[in-house]
Structure 1
Amino acid sequence: MTRVSITAKLRRMLARFCRAERGNVAVTFALTIVPIMGCVGAAIDYTRVNSARTAMQDALDAAVLMVAKDDSTGTLTPAQLNAKAQAYFSGLYGSHPEVIINSVSATYSGGSGAPSTILLNGSGTLPTQFASVLGFSSLNFSVSSTATWGLTKLRVSLVLDNTGSMNDAGKLVALQGAANTLIDQLSASAQKPGDVYISVVPFAKDVNVGASNYTQNWIKWNGASDTWEENNGSCSRYFGFYRPTSLSACQSVGGTWKAANHSNWTGCVMDRDQNYDTTNTAPTSVATDFPADEYYENGTYFCAPGANPALQPITPLSYNWTMLKASINAMQATGGTNQAIGLAWGWMSLTQSSPLNAPALDPNYSYVQAIILLSDGLNTEDRWYGDGVDWSSQVDARQQTLCDNIKAAGIKIYAIQVNTDGEAQSAVMAYCASDPGKFFYLTSATQVLSTFNTIGASLAQLRISR
């Protein structure tokens, strides 16, 4: 065989081999294309089912909170509970119409003094678009969500402006109605006494702690030119035609000063010595005590029982809803604005020490503590600054420090400014709010009720943990 014929034969053999190799690749590709496409399609279907599962989880999470709010006392029957769960879920899970909902069920447990729990279970089926090539015509999934309440207790201090301008535009009347509704709203979330406590702190320039406390050792009577004994008493054996009305004036004309009996005090206290005016330090010394005051203006002692108008005394934390409402309904508008002293006493009302002695915290529970401050204007006076009419930046500065300390203690602050007089927005009230969503700037007294309802719903929901 010639060399040429051998070469030609080799070429023909190589050509046949190449043709055979190409055929093998085509066969191999044909055999693998189905599982490859199935795997790619399964990945797409898995992404779809994961999205559907996430959406169902979000819908169940929202639905369980709604059902828990409706059945906070565990009085719904199983049929009613399931009907509400399905209705809420159906309204929330609308973004995946391709999913077949197999079931949504609710189960309640607890009550009778124990924490209450509602468990929502949901399951669905998603028809596949690609995985059916691998023999999976649909994919099933399930999720659950739980709401538990009764492990968190709520303590709220209502710090309410009782200054003279609250008489304008129906603000005080609107405040009283809204505060009563808030008490109803929060008390309804309590399963047993002590789950919810509320205090009421009316304020003007001073606060009224009650004249019956004149024997308490946390009252400061003397030690400065503005304290009670300095300005309440009588001067004798003095030189001059006009009777001095203060200790210092009496002594300056050679007189003898006799302080009035403490039982004559009408119940007002002013800001504590700085910097205790911005803390909740327990009163254990003269420096930390609360200075007695006679809040007197235009012929009226504003804290005197029976005065008209009168500054209503503080009501410490209580779940006597009738008493709390009576305190709110008795409020009258009088005097200048010192939000800081109201906030300071709101904080003291949440504190487990003298003078208001909040009930001890049970270590078996967690607590939500909040202050709701409502005022209709800007700060005008405190113990040291302001004239009672014009805005005082110095009072704002004291309040800002106080709010920093309150928030650092883990207490939420809701601040509501009711501005019906065209005044500027209160920068310090917006600053004091725990976050921008907790500051409410109202221009009408009619907005007070809806604002209190919003805050009440927020606080009630904080008692539910997912």
Structure 2
Amino acid sequence: AATILLSGSGHVKTTFLQAAGYPSTMNFGTSSTTTWGNVKMRVALALDNTGSMQDNGKIVALRNAVAGSGGLIDQLSALSKNNGDVYISVIPFAKVVNVGSSNYGKNYIDWTDWLNPPTTQPNNGSTQAKLPMNWHAVGPGARCPWTNNNGGFTCTTSPTSSSNTTYIPSSGTYSGYICPSVDYNSHTVYNGCWVSTQVGTGVFCSGSSSCACPTNSSGSAVSGCGCTGSGSSRSCTGKLYTHDWTQPGPNDLVDNKNQPRVTAVVGWTNNQWTATNQTPTVVNNWQQPSTNPINTWTGCVTDRTQPNDATGVLPTTSDVTTLFPANEYYENGSAYCSNNASPQLEPIIPLSYDWTSLKNAVNAMQPTGGTDQSVGLAWAWQSLLVGGPLNTPAEDSNSTYNRVIILLSDGLNTEDRWPDYGDGSSQASGNPIDARQTLQCQNLQAAKDSKGAPMFTIYTIQVNTSSPPDPTSTVLKNCASTPDKFYMLTSSSQIVTTFNTIGTALSKLRLAK
């Protein structure tokens, strides 16, 4: 450890004491020594990279405040006598964070959503896609059974394609492939297709007046399909198709040995919907190579499964709710985590004292998609935890650690993993995204170190340059460790001064003796 000696001296005029023979001034001096080196600092920067940061020069001001000359990185790096005295992590966030596509083999990733079809997604009910009653009659040439208003997606001509189609392809490599488009509700790409495999002819729907044949491009029932009766006596007959999803099923022991298995439900027993058999139970059994294996993932991860979206528990393979769900975020025509995206949501930078690399990462930040402060905060938290997914350096038991999180956002939360909570423009009634983040902040504030003291110091910054201005974010305000650590900014120029103020506060040394 280093020591710092602070000395001071001065004098006092002795106007009244001169009469007693004292000199006209009396000198004094004092000094104090502090030990510097056993207190170390680790700072996580959760920085808003959403689309609105392009307005009013906010993203430029943020880059300057953090990575510019004399900015926060310069301030904090100046406190480091030895490598490791100060660490900084950078967590750019939008609706997701980008942990880097090269990490597809890591065991902290939950592949459930990424691999599964739209009918097996955490959509809370109202936006959950469901298989249509005539599902087992849907095949090549039939109209796509979904629309944006019915399921939240349409059909495409091939896996993960951007070319939409009204009718299921009836020729070529992807004949009979029912491939979902980007999801209109969750702004995600699905990474597979249902494949139509004819298994004969027969009844595919009975017992409901809603039973009907799929239609073709002429608006007529598909070839060979017909219905009789009405009401509960109605029955429809035609070609029967099964529809496995093109990710390896649990019985696949040959192909894709390193690929997680998909157990999604893909149809009804006996390939038939009935009034007494309304719940599909047949499990996916695709045993051919995946149409989109996990090594094509671009690096996006989203909120963890509740309740761990609001905790700092470390991921463990024995509990899938502790893992971080892979996501293929796609909004405004961009797959924001892709290396080919322009702009790209920059990958997170774990704790580092490579000041040049940290500055380069901040200066590369660009405005991207929608706002989910919680996912940025979650990864700022993880970046400070030893034993977590970001290989956080071990802590020395002989040192004291100041663990700091700085969360900056220029807007209110608009979307997260659950489409029912927000549509990308606004939250649902009751602010459910904020409610989850509120719980997260409370858990973060309640975390204690080995001595029972608060483990983290949290600064929060709301940049409110909208006209008319957004309301004060209650969740941001209350997330700060103390009221004086919440900053409401009304102009981009205040970003630089605020980070300077925080940097100065973090730089203060305590005189020890």
Please give the TM-score of this superposition, normalised by the length of structure 2: 0.62
Kindly indicate whether the alpha-carbon contact (under 8 Å) linking 1:118 and 1:148 is maintained by their aligned counterparts in 2.
no
**For 2:437, which of 399, 404, 407 is the aligned residue?**
399
Q: Distance in 2 between matches of 1:465 and 1:266?
A: 49
**For 1:280, which of 304, 309, 312 is the aligned residue?**
312
What's 1:411 paired with?
456
**For 1:389, which of 414, 420, 425 is the aligned residue?**
425
Q: Tell me the CA shift for residue 293 of structure 1.
A: 0.6
Deviations for 1:368-388, whole angstroms, at most 9, x for unmatched residues? 111111100111111122111
Q: Distance in 2 between matches of 1:389 and 1:438?
A: 28
Q: Distance in 2 between matches of 1:276 and 1:161?
A: 22
Q: Distance in 2 between matches of 1:121 and 1:186?
A: 26
Deviations for 1:267-324, whole angstroms, at most 9, x for unmatched residues? 1011011111111211113121111111012332111112112211110000111111
Q: Which amino acid letter does the alignment assign opposite residue 405 of structure 1?
A: N
Q: Tell me the CA shift for residue 430 of structure 1.
A: 0.8
2:7 pairs with 1:120: yes
**Partner-residue secondary structure (3-state), 2:393:** coil
Task: Please show how residues 193-232 of structure 1 align to structure 2 within 5 Å.
Answer: 193-222=83-112, 225-226=120-121, 231-232=190-191
**Partner-residue secondary structure (3-state), 1:371:** strand
Q: Tell me the CA shift for residue 145 of structure 1.
A: 3.0
Q: Which amino acid letter does the alignment assign opposite residue 368 of structure 1?
A: N
What's 1:74 paired with?
none
Q: Distance in 2 between matches of 1:344 and 1:131?
A: 67
What's 2:234 paired with?
none
Q: Which amino acid letter does the alignment assign opposite residue 307 of structure 1?
A: A
2:375 pairs with 1:344: no
Q: Which amino acid letter does the alignment assign opposite residue 261 of structure 1?
A: P
- The CA RMSD measured in Å over matched residues stands at 3.1
Question: Cα–Cα, structure 1 residues 132 and 349, in superposed 2: closer, same or farther, change >3 Å?
Answer: same
What's 2:252 paired with?
none
What's 1:111 paired with?
none
Q: Distance in 2 between matches of 1:191 and 1:167?
A: 37
Q: Tell me the CA shift for residue 238 of structure 1.
A: 4.9
Q: Which amino acid letter does the alignment assign opposite residue 194 of structure 2?
A: C
**For 1:289, which of 301, 319, 323 is the aligned residue?**
323
Q: Distance in 1 between matches of 2:486 and 2:512?
A: 24
2:399 pairs with 1:365: yes
Q: Tell me the CA shift for residue 146 of structure 1.
A: 3.2
**For 2:196, which of 202, 222, 237 is the aligned residue?**
237
Deviations for 1:155-182, whole angstroms, at most 9, x for unmatched residues? 1011000111111111111111111021
Q: Which amino acid letter does the alignment assign opposite residue 301 of structure 1?
A: A
Q: Which amino acid letter does the alignment assign opposite residue 43 of structure 2?
A: V
Question: Cα–Cα, structure 1 residues 463 and 237, in superposed 2: closer, same or farther, change >3 Å?
Answer: farther
2:465 pairs with 1:420: yes
Kindly indicate whether the alpha-carbon contact (under 8 Å) linking 1:176 and 1:329 is maintained by their aligned counterparts in 2.
yes
Kindly indicate whether the alpha-carbon contact (under 8 Å) linking 2:96 and 2:329 is maintained by their aligned counterparts in 1.
yes
**For 1:171, which of 54, 58, 62 is the aligned residue?**
58
Task: Please show how residues 24-39 of structure 1 align to structure 2 within 5 Å.
Answer: none
Kindly indicate whether the alpha-carbon contact (under 8 Å) linking 2:7 and 2:29 is maintained by their aligned counterparts in 1.
no
Q: Tell me the CA shift for residue 251 of structure 1.
A: 3.9
Aligned residues with identical type, % of pairs: 50
Question: Cα–Cα, structure 1 residues 431 and 259, in superposed 2: closer, same or farther, change >3 Å?
Answer: farther
Kindly indicate whether the alpha-carbon contact (under 8 Å) linking 2:196 and 2:244 is maintained by their aligned counterparts in 1.
no
What's 2:43 paired with?
156
Q: Which amino acid letter does the alignment assign opposite residue 294 of structure 2?
A: H
What's 2:451 paired with?
none
**For 2:413, which of 350, 370, 379 is the aligned residue?**
379
Task: Please show how residues 28-177 of structure 1 align to structure 2 within 5 Å.
Answer: 114-120=1-7, 122=9, 127=14, 143-177=30-64
**Partner-residue secondary structure (3-state), 1:381:** coil
What's 2:168 paired with?
none
Question: Cα–Cα, structure 1 residues 139 and 452, in superposed 2: closer, same or farther, change >3 Å?
Answer: closer
Q: Distance in 1 between matches of 2:330 and 2:244?
A: 17
Kindly indicate whether the alpha-carbon contact (under 8 Å) linking 2:10 and 2:27 is maintained by their aligned counterparts in 1.
yes
Kindly indicate whether the alpha-carbon contact (under 8 Å) linking 1:222 and 1:230 is maintained by their aligned counterparts in 2.
no
Structure 2 unmatched ranges of 5 or more: 123-185, 199-213, 217-242, 247-261, 272-281, 448-454
Q: Distance in 2 between matches of 1:230 and 1:300?
A: 11
Q: Which amino acid letter does the alignment assign opposite residue 390 of structure 2?
A: L
2:296 pairs with 1:260: no
Q: Which amino acid letter does the alignment assign opposite residue 293 of structure 2?
A: N
Question: Cα–Cα, structure 1 residues 230 and 307, in superposed 2: closer, same or farther, change >3 Å?
Answer: closer
Q: Tell me the CA shift for residue 406 of structure 1.
A: 1.7
**Partner-residue secondary structure (3-state), 1:215:** coil
Kindly indicate whether the alpha-carbon contact (under 8 Å) linking 1:150 and 1:463 is maintained by their aligned counterparts in 2.
no
**Partner-residue secondary structure (3-state), 2:441:** helix
Q: Which amino acid letter does the alignment assign opposite residue 349 of structure 2?
A: T
Q: Distance in 2 between matches of 1:213 and 1:355?
A: 10
What's 2:355 paired with?
321
Q: Which amino acid letter does the alignment assign opposite residue 412 of structure 1?
A: T
Q: Distance in 2 between matches of 1:266 and 1:342?
A: 18
Question: Cα–Cα, structure 1 residues 131 and 403, in superposed 2: closer, same or farther, change >3 Å?
Answer: farther
Aligned residue pairs, count: 352
Kindly indicate whether the alpha-carbon contact (under 8 Å) linking 1:198 and 1:318 is maintained by their aligned counterparts in 2.
yes
Q: Which amino acid letter does the alignment assign opposite residue 95 of structure 2?
A: K
Kindly indicate whether the alpha-carbon contact (under 8 Å) linking 2:414 and 2:427 is maintained by their aligned counterparts in 1.
yes
Kindly indicate whether the alpha-carbon contact (under 8 Å) linking 1:149 and 1:464 is maintained by their aligned counterparts in 2.
no
Q: Distance in 1 between matches of 2:487 and 2:348?
A: 24
Q: Distance in 2 between matches of 1:335 and 1:219?
A: 22
Kindly indicate whether the alpha-carbon contact (under 8 Å) linking 2:3 and 2:33 is maintained by their aligned counterparts in 1.
no
Q: Tell me the CA shift for residue 465 of structure 1.
A: 5.2
Kindly indicate whether the alpha-carbon contact (under 8 Å) linking 2:33 and 2:511 is maintained by their aligned counterparts in 1.
no
Q: Distance in 2 between matches of 1:245 and 1:309?
A: 32
2:343 pairs with 1:453: no
Kindly indicate whether the alpha-carbon contact (under 8 Å) linking 1:265 and 1:294 is maintained by their aligned counterparts in 2.
yes
Q: Distance in 1 between matches of 2:94 and 2:405?
A: 17
**For 1:271, which of 297, 300, 303 is the aligned residue?**
303
Q: Distance in 2 between matches of 1:140 and 1:270?
A: 65
Q: Tell me the CA shift for residue 260 of structure 1.
A: 2.7
Q: Distance in 1 between matches of 2:332 and 2:8?
A: 66
What's 1:299 paired with?
333
Q: Distance in 2 between matches of 1:462 and 1:235?
A: 62
Deviates more, 1:115-124 or 1:175-184: 115-124
Kindly indicate whether the alpha-carbon contact (under 8 Å) linking 1:118 and 1:147 is maintained by their aligned counterparts in 2.
yes
Q: Tell me the CA shift for residue 140 of structure 1.
A: 8.7
**Partner-residue secondary structure (3-state), 1:356:** coil
Question: Cα–Cα, structure 1 residues 458 and 249, in superposed 2: closer, same or farther, change >3 Å?
Answer: same
